[in-house]
Copies of this chain bind each other. A is one copy, B any other.
Amino acid sequence: MSSRALPYRPHNHAACVSQALAEAKAICQQQNARLTPTRERVLELIWQSHKPLGAYDVLAKLTSEGHNAAPPTVYRALDFLQQYGLVHRIASLNAFTGCTHAGEHHTGMFLICRACGNVLELMESSVTTAIENAASAEAFQPEAITLEVAGLCPGCQTDQHHE
């Protein structure tokens, strides 16, 4: 899988988005899942934004481009995209972000900058292992891990005075 630019580093974002879409198409084809136009457009809108988008943000964008959309339109698309591992929901933000490791079986760890709003998704097996060990010690059988770290990204640490 290709490496991706960090969200807060300058990069060709259009290419970054279209690559994500291409991968999504491939994943859906492989799993016999239908990446319909609405679903694809929702995924694209989420990818175009570096910061996680709320469901109603997505809805507003769809509406503004003439799509006759209502909340269920968006939530259904988001459910689909989550189901196939193409987006993640960030519980602490009530928002959605494109998965940067789609297709790879993983539990994401999210570094969320409280200043600029950018989110970096990591895949750290050492963290996952530590969590699973801690759960095992309590005889707990984990199924889904929500791990969201709020703080300051490298670019915003020196910018503290801008707050």
List residues of A whose CB falls within 8 A of some B CB.
Answer: 6, 91-92, 109, 111, 113-114, 120, 122, 124, 126-127, 129-131, 133-135, 138-154, 157
29 example contacts (A-B, Cβ-Cβ < 8 A) are as follows: A91-B146, A91-B148, A92-B146, A109-B134, A111-B138, A111-B140, A111-B142, A122-B134, A122-B138, A124-B130, A124-B134, A126-B133, A127-B127, A127-B130, A129-B130, A135-B149, A135-B151, A139-B153, A139-B154, A140-B152, A142-B151, A143-B152, A144-B149, A145-B148, A145-B149, A145-B150, A146-B147, A146-B148, A146-B149
A125 to chain B, nearest CB (A): 10
Interfacial chain B residues near A157, Cβ < 8 Å: 139, 141
Q: Which residue of B lies closest to A114 (CB)?
A: B143
Copies held by the complex? 2
CA distance A71 to B130 in the complex (A): 39
CA distance A150 to B146 in the complex (A): 8
